[in-house]
Structures are given as C-alpha cells and as structure tokens.
Amino acid sequence: MSFRDSSNGEYGSLAEELTAKSADSSQQKSEVNLLAKAVAILSAREYSEKELRQRLKRYSNDDAAIDAVVTRLQRENWQSDERFVETFVQSKEQRWGNQKILQALSQHDLDSEQLSDLKEGLSDSEYQRAREVWIKRFGAKYGVGLYDSDALDDDESLEEAEQQDFQEQAKEKAKQLRFLASRGFSADVVYRVVNSRGAPEED
C-alpha cells in the first residue's frame, strides 16, 4: 500500500511524518505511536472501522485520539469499509454460503445499503458456489466433476448410487444437507443442489 501525502502538506508521506514527529513531546509521541500502530495493523490486511477501533483500544483509552487517527486514515484511504467487504467476500465466497458471509459481516457495523447490495449480488451466484462446494466434497461418489454439463454421466457411479437401499440414501442425503447448511447456504439452494446431485443450474 502506498503512502499518502499528509493532510497538512508539511511532510511528503505518512512515513516521513511519523519519523519526524518521533522526537517531539511525550503527548505527540503518544499520538504518533497510535497512528504508527494503526498503519502497521492496516499493512497486514484490510480491517473494518469497528475492528480497527477495537485493536487501537489495546494501546489507548483516549477515544478522541482514536477518533482522530481513524478519521485521518479513512481520509487518506488507508482504511475503507468498502474495501474490507470486498476482500472479505473474496476470501470466503468459495467456501461459505450467503447466510454465513452476511452474518459475519453484520458484526462490523457496516452500512446497511452496502450489505443490501452485497446480499443481492451473492444471491445471483449462490447456487453455483454451493454446487462447487458439494462437488469437491461429494462429487467423486457420483462421478460428477466441476466442469460436467450433466450430473451422473458416469454409468458405473450411477448404477452404484441406484443400488443403495432407501435407508442408506436417506442417511447420505441428510449428511449432504447438513454439510451445505453448515457452510451457510440457504435452504432452497441446499435442497436443489443435493436433490440434483450437483447438476448445473438451469437457465
């Protein structure tokens, strides 16, 4: 992440300002140390504003100082809730369903409109994401691969599946339903993926 120009124009970068002010008064040192801590935190990964504030409270009980640091970092684009949401979803969407993603994000006090837009976007891809998760876990049992255009196109696997007695089929189906539900996929999507044994979604 590149450094931004300081707001007062006296320093070429945030790094230069932190270095220059490190020899100032004890109060300024405290403020600079808090800013430096925040920059170090944000350099590791994206954080929501709520997360960042919680982390900074480990180093200071001065709410006004924390407010000032967070406001500055947002102004200089070091901290962005929008960017946090984007990277969070990218890291989870191949493993988690909509409910689990949205539940996790709801803990961050994010903008409701942003979450509403995200929910709509996730809904469009949920079946395909659930299908991919199901295939990775159960596809081999039925001869289904990620790039198959039809489910159960392997005659041997199909025959084996059909030879299972009803009790075994019911037990296996319940296992698959629980697995996808635990990943946070909606009930409708879970049932459609399991009942179709990973068939691609119809247009």
Q: Which of 60, 22, 30 is nearest to 14 (CA)?
A: 22
What does the alpha-carbon distance between residue 128 and residue 84 come to, in Å, rounded to a whole number?
A: 24
Q: Which of 7, 129, 107 is nearest to 54 (CA)?
A: 107
All CATH 1.10.10.10 domain ranges in the chain, comma separated: 14-79
**Higher-confidence residue: 41 or 16?**
41
Q: HSE (CB half, 13 Å, CA atoms) of 125?
A: 15
Residues across the chain: 203
How high is the pLDDT of residue 3? Answer: 41
pLDDT digits (tens, 9 = 90+) for 50-84: 999 999 999 999 999 999 999 999 999 999 999 99
Lookup result for tokens 């200089």:
76
Band of residue 17 on the pLDDT scale cut at 50, 70, 90: low
Cβ-defined contacts of 100-108 (< 8 Å, 24+): 100/183, 100/184, 101/184, 103/184, 107/50, 108/48, 108/49, 108/50, 108/51, 108/81, 108/84
Fold (CATH) for 14-79: Arc Repressor Mutant, subunit A (1.10.10)
What does the alpha-carbon distance between residue 89 and residue 104 come to, in Å, rounded to a whole number?
A: 10
Report the mean per-residue pLDDT for the chain.
84
How high is the pLDDT of residue 163? Answer: 61
Average pLDDT over residues 178-183: 97
pLDDT digits (tens, 9 = 90+) for 86-142: 999 999 999 999 999 999 999 999 998 889 989 988 999 999 999 999 999 998 888
